[in-house]
Amino acid sequence: MKSLGLGIESDLGNVNLVAVATNRVCRELGLDESRAGQIELCVAEAATNAIRHAYQGQPGHLVEVRLSASHDELQVEVIDRGTPMPLKHQQALLKGSKPFDVPPADLRSLAEGGRGLQIIFELMDKVSYVSGEANNRLIMTKRLPANSTMS
């Protein structure tokens, strides 16, 4: 198993750094541009939500992204130590809220705000959320293609 940990300060200006780094890791693992872009988008949405909601937009806090790849899947965790996600948002994340009438390749064209959890739900193969005393963890899993470099 290969793994990598990244951390950014809770400033929306830093989200792109961790998103682009995630995309590059995905490409190194053998994912095509489309799948790598989908995972990049999910990381950007999750990190943005952590900053806006868990930390109420306050800088100076840590948002971690951990990537772990096995031969058949990539697991991405976005971790914060702020306010846990409300139950209704957890349900939307785990069960979906309303499907989009937009092809996955065009999800970047959607207006910003309120769609991040649905985007994550639709693009990832598996999603879970765990909140404990120490932190909150959004865990997203994507199956890797048979021709990935992890095979």
What pLDDT shows up at residue 151? 46
Q: In what order do the strands lie in the sheet with 136-143?
A: 2-9, 62-69, 73-80, 136-143, 126-131
What is the pLDDT tens value at each position of the chain, 151 positions in all?
899 999 999 999 999 999 999 999 999 999 999 999 999 999 999 999 999 999 999 999 999 999 999 989 999 999 999 999 998 888 877 887 655 445 555 545 544 456 788 899 999 999 999 999 899 999 999 998 776 655 4
Domain 2-143 in CATH 3.10.440.10? The answer is no
What pLDDT shows up at residue 49? 95
Three-state SS letters, 14-42: HHHHHHHHHHHHHHHCCCCHHHHHHHHHH
**CA 79 to CA 13: how far, in whole Å?**
18
What pLDDT shows up at residue 150? 52
Q: Delimit the domains of the chain by residue range.
A: 2-143
Q: Which residues of 118-149 are buried (b: 16+ CB within 10 A; e: fewer)?
A: bbbbbbbeebebeeeeebbbbbbebebeeebe
In three-state secondary structure terms, 127 is strand
What pLDDT shows up at residue 91? 82
What pLDDT shows up at residue 90? 85
